[in-house]
Amino acid sequence: MTTIEYERPRELPRTEWAILALVALAVTAAHLATNGRYGFHRDEFQFLSDARHLDWGFVAYPPLTPFLEHIGLAVFGISLVGLRLFSVLAQAIALIVTGLMARQLGGGRLAQATAVIAVALSPLPLFEGTEFQYSSFDFLWWVLIAYFTVRLLGSGNPRWWLAIGAAVGMGLLTKYSIVFFTAGIIGGVVLSRARRSLRNGWFWAGIALALLLFLPNFLWLVRHDFISYQFLQHIHIRDVGEGRTNGFLKDQLLICVNIFAAPLCLAGLAGFLRSPRYRMLAWMYLIPLALFFIARGRGYYMAAAYPMLIAMGAAMAERWLATLRRPGRIAVQAVFCAGFSVSGAYICAIILPIQSSGPLRDFALQRNGDLREEFGWPELVRNVAAIRDALPPEQRAAAGVLVGNYGEQGAIELLGPAYGLPLPISLTNSAWLRGYPQQPPTTLIVVGVSHEDAEKIFTGCRLAGHNGNSEGIRNEESQYHPDIFVCGAPQLGWPEFWRKYRSFG
């Protein structure tokens, strides 16, 4: 029997490992030093709430992110830095894998360092380490899939399809939009010489592994009438209606990558297209890009596809630099170093909560809406508790808290026990599936609902307090949900009220 010999991977010397580790550690340290500056983002409160009600699926996303947050809660408690650690580690791993990808594509120390720094100082990858978001882990799976594909194509070893399948399966348990990247993988196989994989059992084993990993969530979706698909339809219509999908192509340069990495991306794409061996990776970028553009996806959805382009572009740039004379080589390197330094500093000032007060904080808050959403949650909970405590004893004993969005829900659920507040009642996303209390409260403290809607939906409403933050930060809570009401039961009665007012957000 003939033994098949596969190309051996390029060993990584200690000095090159040190470069990758140093950049990853620097990014990790920056996040650990700043991630405790403000407070939780409203999206993080939804993950925290769902982490306390583990299931094989949730309305807004698959189960992996709440599961990791469940572990974080068990280990760190309510700790900003601790609960965001998984996101930080995911980005550190993605950076190292980007460097390894550049190495496998023929890049030396300069290419690896350039690729890692270019990704580290790009807006979306940097943001993914500042909050606990499912997109943080989705980013990692995309980068791992690209790396495994490079190893597959470079070595010719079909067993890498199992690694690709495992990463796709984990991606499906993280964020459903990975199906667009999966379409790129399938399209890349068909449109390149990698189509020979269609006759290989390892390719189909990889598909089987991905589907096996996804199976528990798929069964949950079937059991709940594919409610997540209904959610995604609603969110997409909202995003298009509010203009959030405008500027998709512009966002590729302004959000997904550092502007000084754009030449590397273009070079990397051209390099993949020109390479018969690695052409599949070009389609893995172009097909999702086209699908998101046609479907009117948001610009940042493509961010995780750029590390593979940057890795190839950095390897090509290094080889090109070697052809230049020393003065020209030094000039090009100096321009790129200066560009990355200036643009990277600007991006860090916007993305990272570097200061708790002062001009740098104001600069970031004016330009970063996500940071503004991290203010006011402890004050909201204190205000609700004060309103509850001011109720007459007979109302206080039967009072509940009804909230209008998942941020308010998570804040009351996680921070409310310190004030003796009951679990909040919410009709948004998975909280709606969990239902209302078996003995519904007769008095409701209503948060996140307009005065007009409160009067229309509930009985006997009165204004009882206000929602905002002592910093005077204008965000969704302070601008759009400024009032807190005390009301009676729903006018329709609880069963019909629950059916009619289900919401996605």
Identify the helix (H) or strand (E) that includes residue 444.
strand 443-447
Distance CA 51, CA 77 (A): 12
> Please, which residues bridge with residue 358 across strands?
none
Q: What is the pTM of this model?
A: 0.95
Q: Which amino acid is at 472?
A: G
Distance CA 479, CA 476 (A): 5
Distance CA 343, CA 257 (A): 11
Task: Give, in order, the Cα–Cα distances in Å from 204 to each of 160, 169, 207, 283, 404.
Answer: 12, 13, 5, 20, 46
Locus of tokens 């798929």: 218
To the nearest 10°, report the CA torsion of 325, 330, 331, 333.
Answer: 120
Distance CA 493, CA 101 (A): 59
Q: What local confidence, expressed as pLDDT, does residue 4 receive?
A: 39
Q: What local confidence, expressed as pLDDT, does residue 16 receive?
A: 83
Distance CA 460, CA 262 (A): 59
What one-character-per-residue DSSP string does 278-344 give?
THHHHHHHHHHHHHHHHHT--GGGGGGGHHHHHHHHHHHHHHHHTTS-HHHHHHHHHHHHHHHHHHH
What value, to the nearest 5°, has the Cα angle with vertex 500 and ends 497 and 504? 115
Q: Strand order in 462-466's β-sheet?
A: 425-426, 399-403, 443-447, 483-487, 462-466
Q: What local confidence, expressed as pLDDT, does residue 468 receive?
A: 86
Q: What local confidence, expressed as pLDDT, does residue 413 receive?
A: 97
Distance CA 23, CA 82 (A): 21
Distance CA 309, CA 296 (A): 23
Q: Which amino acid is at 290?
A: A
Query: Are 6 and 157 within 8 A, CB to CB?
Result: yes
Beta-carbon neighbour count of residue 242 at 10 Å?
A: 9
Domain regions of the chain by residue span: 14-351, 377-500
Distance CA 391, CA 389 (A): 6
Q: What is the mean pLDDT of each run of 10 residues along the chain (505 residues)?
A: 44 81 96 96 97 98 98 97 97 98 96 96 97 97 98 97 98 98 98 96 98 98 97 96 95 95 97 98 98 97 98 97 92 91 96 94 96 97 97 93 97 97 97 96 96 96 93 93 96 96 95
Residues 6+ apart with CB under 8 A from 431: 49, 406, 409, 424, 425
State both tokens at 339. Answer: 């560009």
Distance CA 178, CA 299 (A): 15
